[in-house]
Chain A
Amino acid sequence: MKITFKVLRFHPERDEKPHFDSWDLEVEPTDRVLDLLEQVRGFYDGSLAFRRSCAHGVCGSDAMRINGRNRLACKVLVRDLDSNTITVEPLLGLRVLKDLIVDMDPFFKAYRSVKPYLIHTSPPVADGRERLQSPEQRERFDDTTKCILCAACTTSCPAYWSNGDYVGPAAIVNAHRFIFDSRDQGAAERLRILNEQTGVWRCRTVFNCTEACPRDIKITQAIAEVKRAILTGKLD
């Protein structure tokens, strides 16, 4: 099938402001949007810049706006879009460095700020084996372990667009992953961080993040659970 493929371009050494380039492409309905980007870079315009690696939705490199929604380019097929025009733009809320490549540093800084690692001060188990954790305890935080740090959620959030100091949904997801892990002892510290002005209270429950997540994490619910933990002081 034939489609019109539009990409918002910005070459910092050449352009004063972004503009759309457009190509008429012959594609298969089962092609990924990433395949279209590769086709353009490979055969029409080598200067087109985008990030990609695994090409099947697990590395988180290629989050971008596709027909107005944050998606991974490798996880959206042409047939899913049901349109003869496919428009691709960089994520909103992060500075564009070139074409579809945005500055990820603020995103990773927010992630690091919530102490995204197991905090555990007790000595290892006496027999030298694993700590015990029941399947139910493990299930409690399963959903938020799936995060691939692609930034699709954070850059879909109006609260983040209006204030980049907000840690954003992805950072809260990664805090949640440890707060509700029965082996972790750092919940109080993380809840204190997320109770600050840059924390969870900036969330207005818009659900954009949940809709944007390519891993189907129930992000808004995770944020609500963190809010509740701050209010009640309980991790249930």
Chain B
Amino acid sequence: MTQTHIFDVIIVGGGGAGLMAALNASKSAKTAVISKLYPSRSHTGAAQGGIGAALGNLEEDQPEWHTYDTVKGSDWLGDQDAIEFMCAEAVQAVYDLEQMGLPFSRTPDGRIAQRPFGGHTNNLTGKPVRRSCYAADRTGHMILQTLYQQCIKNETQFFDEFEVLDLILAEGAVAGVVALEMATGELHIFRARAIIFATGGYGRVWEITSNAYAYTGDGVAVTLRRGIPAQDMEFFQFHPTGIHKLGILITEAVRGEGGILINDQGERFMQRYAPHVRDLASRDVVSRAMYLEMREGRGIKGGRYLYLDVRPETVNRCAEEDGRTRPDGQPYRVTGEEILSKIPDIADFCRTYLGVDPITQPMPVQPTAHYAMGGIPTDLYGRVIVDAEKRVLPGLYAAGECACVSVHGANRLGTNSLVDLVVFGKHAGLDAARYATEAALPELPADALEFSRQQLDQLRNGDGSEQVAALTHEMQAVMFEDVGVFRTRQGLESAVEKIRQLRQRYAQGVRVKDTGKVFNTELVNAWELGNLLDLALVTAVSARERSESRGAHAREDFPERDDARWMKHTLAWLKDDEIRLDYKPVTITRFPPKERVY
């Protein structure tokens, strides 16, 4: 028996963006959060190094500099009105988090502690600036916990372990979502005036990834199937420092605290690629440098990894070379104990997974798939945009990693994911609640469950010739090889073809063997692979068409940025096996494009 629930605002996803939206929407609208995980399990909790905001607690800083750094980091693809808005709001957002109880690390005078991060600079001197507000290397954990705590205080209504399968549209507006209750296997209909997708990223498309198993791009896939485009999907960030083979994130804060990357010859190679800020260049720049080092045989023992070295003797030697100082002007010198106190979880990961103590040994690292700059197109208030003319779909919102405002453009700066989800989660929540007070509750179409049932039935009725796990590995290998840090037309064409074949094999061959209803995780995993395959195809096709290099999209056959032809956002629609592309202009307000040098 299908249960039907009615709310003003439904939020899909219980991570940072979803919880911020819930806290704000529930001030004036009847709100619920539907999450496939218990909210405290969300991937926001894996963010480590900090949230960027120009508080200026340790040295001069200003939101304008944060804005410019973000524009530059985005390789001028970010929309500057949105970036300016986000960076200005970031300061109050951090104070708000502190008010909610977030246990930030503190400066000696009791203020929120801040550390340097890649691409964040003093715009006058060009030197790294301390802008990342942090709680040791657990900033995301603290944000997620704090927001969840506030939701408990606020008595927010949660539907935990419900997987949203479909978006219901009626008369050109949203009418609700369909969700599978994992504990019972029953479908539920959630009717609502406004729906906010806050479902996170899709990094499980790649073989080496820092992303959680849950990061299967559900929200973007669900909206694509309902005719809503995905924007800028060719831009996916590879974080320079994932643990070798496992992909587990080693925060940029390790380099912020003075760690450096070295090759097999013991050389600090980032000096050659980014002479001004070296190891604290933007992530796309560092990941490419690492690939070039490995390609030229300077990976460790000739292999596909390099060393990240934060041993105190190394840090102190480099700090001396660089003339780095403390805020009080004293030379920057550290002890092993001080480093451990700044990155305790990283030390724990290294010991657990590598048997390495980062204070006495360097860490083997390689670039790891990390963050989707692209996603569901929105405006500043989280309202979903459905075409190049910026038409809004009434009642539909997206925020956080699944959305593309776009504030990250072609490459996101470290710390800005947390800024994004707090700022735009809040505004999506506020605007959805405002909309819900004005809008009528649309009637459900007669066949509201039909499409969800079709999708699940297909997975139960395939011919059984394919295994979900095997298809997943094949997809991840193709995407890592051909749609990774460096790309070519040939590789992208081959990837598109292979992903098309995988989608066919998936549609015909997958047959879920568990016929039970209770926690049928095999069924859920199979459905999620369908989402990943859809997004892999959209990503590969969007990348194949963009014949330039910009930010995280590095084409070896088109090594230069091409503003004349490509200063524009990609919009991609998926219908069956076909992808249609269109483009919309980038908003440029204060910062005309120029060469991007670190």
Alpha-carbon distance between A51 and B37 when the two chains are bound, in angstroms: 9
Alpha-carbon distance between A104 and B519 when the two chains are bound, in angstroms: 14
Q: Which of B97-105, B295-303, B380-388, B500-508 contacts A (4 or more CB under 8 A)?
A: B97-105
A81 to chain B, nearest CB (A): 13
B345 near A101 with CB under 8 A, answer no
A138 near B103 with CB under 8 A, answer yes
Interface assignment of B423: CB less than 8 Å from any CB of chain A: no
A59 near B45 with CB under 8 A, answer yes
Name which residue of chain A comes closest to B352, CB basis: A75
The answer, among B95, B106, B520, for a CB contact under 8 Å with A135, is B106
* Chain B residues within 8 Å of A47, by CB: 513-514, 516, 520, 522
Most chain A C-beta atoms within 10 Å of own C-beta, residue among B55, B108, B152:
B152
Interface assignment of B130: CB less than 8 Å from any CB of chain A: no
B216 to chain A, nearest CB (A): 11
The answer, among A42, A142, A149, for a CB contact under 8 Å with B467, is A42
* Chain B residues within 8 Å of A118, by CB: 100-101, 149
Interface assignment of B124: CB less than 8 Å from any CB of chain A: no
B46 near A132 with CB under 8 A, answer no
Alpha-carbon distance between A93 and B45 when the two chains are bound, in angstroms: 27
Interface assignment of B110: CB less than 8 Å from any CB of chain A: yes
Render B131-165 as a binary contact track against A, CB cut-off 8 A, 1 for contact. 00001101001100100011011000000000000
Q: Known: A47-B522, A135-B106, A181-B103. Is A61-B37 also a contact (CB below 8 A)?
A: yes
Alpha-carbon distance between A212 and B100 when the two chains are bound, in angstroms: 30
A41 near B110 with CB under 8 A, answer no
Alpha-carbon distance between A184 and B467 when the two chains are bound, in angstroms: 52
B214 near A130 with CB under 8 A, answer no
A46 near B512 with CB under 8 A, answer yes
A149 to chain B, nearest CB (A): 5
Interface assignment of B581: CB less than 8 Å from any CB of chain A: no
The interface residues of chain A, by DSSP majority, are classed as loop
Q: Known: A43-B469, A53-B213, A54-B46. Is A98-B108 also a contact (CB below 8 A)?
A: no
Alpha-carbon distance between A112 and B149 when the two chains are bound, in angstroms: 9
A117 near B150 with CB under 8 A, answer yes
Alpha-carbon distance between A55 and B41 when the two chains are bound, in angstroms: 11
Alpha-carbon distance between A99 and B518 when the two chains are bound, in angstroms: 11
The answer, among B37, B105, B149, B214, for a CB contact under 8 Å with A138, is B105
The answer, among B112, B136, B470, B519, for a CB contact under 8 Å with A130, is B112
Alpha-carbon distance between A120 and B149 when the two chains are bound, in angstroms: 13
* Chain A residues within 8 Å of B572, by CB: none
B212 near A42 with CB under 8 A, answer no
B516 near A112 with CB under 8 A, answer no
A184 near B213 with CB under 8 A, answer no
Render B76-108 as a binary contact track against A, CB cut-off 8 A, 1 for contact. 000000000000000010110011110111111
Name which residue of chain A comes closest to B43, CB basis: A54
A101 near B519 with CB under 8 A, answer yes
A213 to chain B, nearest CB (A): 12
A59 near B212 with CB under 8 A, answer yes
A71 to chain B, nearest CB (A): 11
CB within 8 Å of B: which of A47-95?
47-61, 75, 77
A11 to chain B, nearest CB (A): 6
The answer, among B105, B141, B149, B468, for a CB contact under 8 Å with A42, is B468
Q: Known: A97-B183, A98-B519, A148-B40. Is A55-B106 also a contact (CB below 8 A)?
A: no
B61 to chain A, nearest CB (A): 14
Render B400-434 as a binary contact track against A, CB cut-off 8 A, 1 for contact. 00000000000000000000000000000000000
Interface assignment of B111: CB less than 8 Å from any CB of chain A: yes
CB within 8 Å of A: which of B229-259?
246, 248
Render A194-226 as a binary contact track against B, CB cut-off 8 A, 1 for contact. 000000000000000000000010000000000
Name which residue of chain B comes closest to A149, CB basis: B40
B103 near A117 with CB under 8 A, answer no
B106 near A134 with CB under 8 A, answer yes
A233 to chain B, nearest CB (A): 23
Render A123-135 as a binary contact track against B, CB cut-off 8 A, 1 for contact. 0100011111111
Most chain B C-beta atoms within 10 Å of own C-beta, residue among A41, A54, A116, A148:
A54
Alpha-carbon distance between A120 and B516 when the two chains are bound, in angstroms: 48
* Chain A residues within 8 Å of B62, by CB: none
Most chain B C-beta atoms within 10 Å of own C-beta, residue among A115, A130, A184:
A130
Alpha-carbon distance between A120 and B153 when the two chains are bound, in angstroms: 12
* Chain B residues within 8 Å of A77, by CB: 352-353
B41 near A53 with CB under 8 A, answer yes
Alpha-carbon distance between A14 and B521 when the two chains are bound, in angstroms: 16
Alpha-carbon distance between A101 and B518 when the two chains are bound, in angstroms: 10
Q: Known: A50-B521, A53-B43. Is A58-B469 also a contact (CB below 8 A)?
A: no
B559 to chain A, nearest CB (A): 35
Q: Known: A52-B213, A53-B37, A116-B149. Is A130-B521 also a contact (CB below 8 A)?
A: no
A43 near B467 with CB under 8 A, answer yes
A42 to chain B, nearest CB (A): 3
* Chain B residues within 8 Å of A141, by CB: 103
B521 near A41 with CB under 8 A, answer yes
Interface assignment of A146: CB less than 8 Å from any CB of chain B: yes
Name which residue of chain B comes closest to A128, CB basis: B95
Alpha-carbon distance between A86 and B95 when the two chains are bound, in angstroms: 48
CB within 8 Å of A: which of B20-44?
37-38, 40-43
The answer, among A14, A133, A184, for a CB contact under 8 Å with B106, is A133
* Chain B residues within 8 Å of A55, by CB: 212-213, 248
B347 to chain A, nearest CB (A): 11
Chain A residues within 8 Å of B, Cβ to Cβ: 11-14, 30, 38, 41-43, 46-61, 75, 77, 97-99, 101, 104, 108, 112, 115-118, 120, 124, 128-135, 137-138, 141-142, 145-149, 178, 181, 183-184, 216
Q: Which 6 A-B pairs have the closest CB atoms?
A: A42-B469, A118-B101, A132-B110, A46-B522, A47-B514, A117-B149
Contacts beyond the supplied A98-B518, A128-B92: 14 A-B pairs with Cβ under 8 Å = A13-B516, A14-B516, A41-B469, A41-B525, A43-B470, A48-B521, A52-B213, A53-B41, A56-B248, A59-B43, A59-B212, A132-B109, A147-B145, A184-B101
Chain B residues within 8 Å of A, Cβ to Cβ: 37-38, 40-43, 45-46, 55, 92, 94-95, 98-101, 103-112, 135-136, 138, 141-142, 145, 149-150, 152-153, 183, 212-214, 246, 248, 345, 348-349, 352-353, 467-470, 472, 512-514, 516-522, 525
Q: List 14 A-B contacts (CB under 8 A).
A: A41-B521, A41-B522, A49-B519, A51-B41, A52-B213, A57-B348, A104-B38, A117-B149, A117-B153, A130-B98, A132-B109, A145-B135, A145-B138, A178-B101
